[in-house]
Amino acid sequence: MDDYTNNIFFVVGCGRSGTTSLCRVLDSASNTECLLEPSPNLNRESRDMMEGRYERPFQLIAETVMQRAAVVLDKGLIYGEKNVTLGPFIPHLQKISNCRFVYVHRDGRDVVRSLLDWHNRMFGTIYRECKEVGDLSDRAKNAQASLPIELDSSDYSRPRPGSGDIWYDHWENFSRLEMCAWYWSRINALYLDKLEALPENKWISINYTSPDIADLLRVAEFLELEGLSPENIKLQLGKRINSLKDRIDEGNNFPRWPDWAPIDRIRFENIAARTMQRLGHYPEEYVRYCPPNYGEWWKQNEGGLEWYTWMYDSRLAAHNDFQYFVKHLDQTGRKVESLLDVGCGLAVGYADVYSDRRYVGMDLSGKEAEWCRQNRSNTKHAYITGDIIVSTPDEKFDVVFSHGTIDNSYDMDAMLKAMVACSNGWIYLTAYRGWFPELPEHRYSWDEGTTCFYNDISVAAVHRTLESLGCVEITVSPLDMGIREGNPIRYETRIVARVTAVESVV
């Protein structure tokens, strides 16, 4: 009996990632027909499926995809199809046809750029609810005005955040860049989740950011395609298939990501950094983008002793809790001899409480550290200016702590990592913006006015980071700050962890 296993494959991936280009290349093989978005393309069904509203996926696949596959199979050829809407149907496609998948991915920043150009120059219909209309060409304006929403299945097919998504409430105010970043991140995460659940021999991925001939030949070999020559592949890649140049003979308009405004780089990272890391477009040790003017406002605006004292008093519950923590360590045979205070300000409270111990205060602002050096004379104490992420002290401390600083960091995980790196005992942090047990990821937000981040810290993400750093006795818990006049936040986040792989404090 003939074996039709592996006679069907699907090219899948986020739109603008090179799927059309790959499809055209593969179609030139001698033993396949690879169709480009054949109808019906399942636009509406795809989104309904993602939102849990579609009830008959197998029937849909059987009545649509498999019908057209049958036509090609009857010719004795391998059937291939490219459709960016197939993500939610991957398990069903696999089950019905035992097919294989080629997953195409591309640097999210390039995809976002391409989507924005696609919107501004060609169609004007990418995320039509966006508060930005866009800088539309006449072609895009006409296309937009001619396509009523009820007929726009392409825009419908793009997912939107559900009520459980951390960006659900923010979506209304997103820029189009943010929406496209979210789309890229969401769709690629969907593809990865679906494909990683399949046997390894059923899918292959290709990074189409800068594809080379060897990558495409590897895909062809995986699919058992014949007749593809390096020369032909090189020719096809050179055509930049489906680019703006190819479609309407125009060059890209939106800048490449190194030339993005800092606010756009931040916006992209806020949303897509984790997927960039997951796909390997960011290195393992990637530190999030720090805008050039980060902290400038704080450096130029004096806090003053009165303000820092008021700040200390307004978060007394957090300071008391920390001091009890240190006292507990002292009383249980783990005397704390040295402490590093990250984001020390003017060292209000701590310079006095820990006058008998080695205490080092670290702050981003040189003014604060200088004031401390001038006004707090204790030979056991020191004050340094710096960003702990890039200037992690060589000295090791029994306890490295930070109050209400991580909320304003440009990379909370990197800050945790730096704190762990200079601790030979414990880390302790409080985050003043609240308690967010529902967040699967940190949620970053940048304010250009105060040149600072205002972040919501994810309990799950903190656990992941500290566990990956080998920490134990990790506690991430709500800290009851009591009812405070003028402050609606009742619970802050407290993080405590013991650092291992070093000798414990005795």
Partner 1 sequence: MSFLDRWLRRTKPYKVITHALSREEIVGRCKGTASAYKELGVVSPFSVYKQVVDALAINPGFEVRPMRQLMDPADGEKVIISLRHDLDGDIVTGVRAARYLARKGLPGTFYLLHTSHYYGAVENNVFCRFAGLESFIAELIATGCELGLHCDPLHLYCTYNINGAQAVKSEIAWLKSLGVKVSGSVAHNSAIVFGAENFEVFQHRSIAGRRSFSYKGKSVPLQVLDEGKLGLTYEGNYPVPPEKLDAGKVSEYLRLSTGDCVRNIEWLHYYFLDNPFFGRGYDVDIWLLACDAWVIAKRGEHAEVLWPVDTSGVLSYLSQLDGGVRVAVCVHPEYISGD
Where does this chain bind partner 1 (CB under 8 A)? Answer: 44, 47, 53, 124-125, 128-131, 133-134, 141-142, 144-150, 152, 155-156, 160, 171-172
Q: How is residue 408 annotated by DSSP?
A: G
CB nearer partner 1, residue 172 or residue 394: 172
CB nearer partner 1, residue 165 or residue 337: 165
Contact status, residue 314 vs residue 436, Cβ threshold 8 Å = no
CB nearer partner 1, residue 160 or residue 381: 160
Longest dimension (CA), the chain: 89
Read off φ and ψ for residue 312, nearest 5 degrees: -65, -45
d(CA 267, CA 179) in angstroms, rounded, equals: 10
Contact status, residue 486 vs residue 505, Cβ threshold 8 Å = no
CB nearer partner 1, residue 44 or residue 68: 44
CB nearer partner 1, residue 70 or residue 151: 151
Q: Which of 15, 31, 14, 12 is CA-nearest to residue 23?
A: 12
d(CA 467, CA 472) in angstroms, rounded, equals: 7
Smallest distance, partner 1 to C-beta of residue 163, A:
10
CB nearer partner 1, residue 129 or residue 467: 129
Task: Report helix, strand or coil for 192.
Answer: helix
CB nearer partner 1, residue 113 or residue 176: 176
Ramachandran quadrant class, 341 (left: phi over 0; alpha: psi -120 to 50; beta: rest)? beta
CA distances from 4 to 9, 89, 202 (A): 12, 20, 14
CA angle 416, 417, 422 (to 5 degrees): 100
CB nearer partner 1, residue 70 or residue 145: 145
d(CA 87, CA 194) in angstroms, rounded, equals: 8
Smallest distance, partner 1 to C-beta of residue 172, A:
7
Smallest distance, partner 1 to C-beta of residue 123, A:
11
Smallest distance, partner 1 to C-beta of residue 134, A:
8
Smallest distance, partner 1 to C-beta of residue 148, A:
5
Smallest distance, partner 1 to C-beta of residue 329, A:
48
Tokens, residue 81 = 């199809």
Contact status, residue 274 vs residue 185, Cβ threshold 8 Å = yes
Smallest distance, partner 1 to C-beta of residue 150, A:
4
Smallest distance, partner 1 to C-beta of residue 56, A:
12
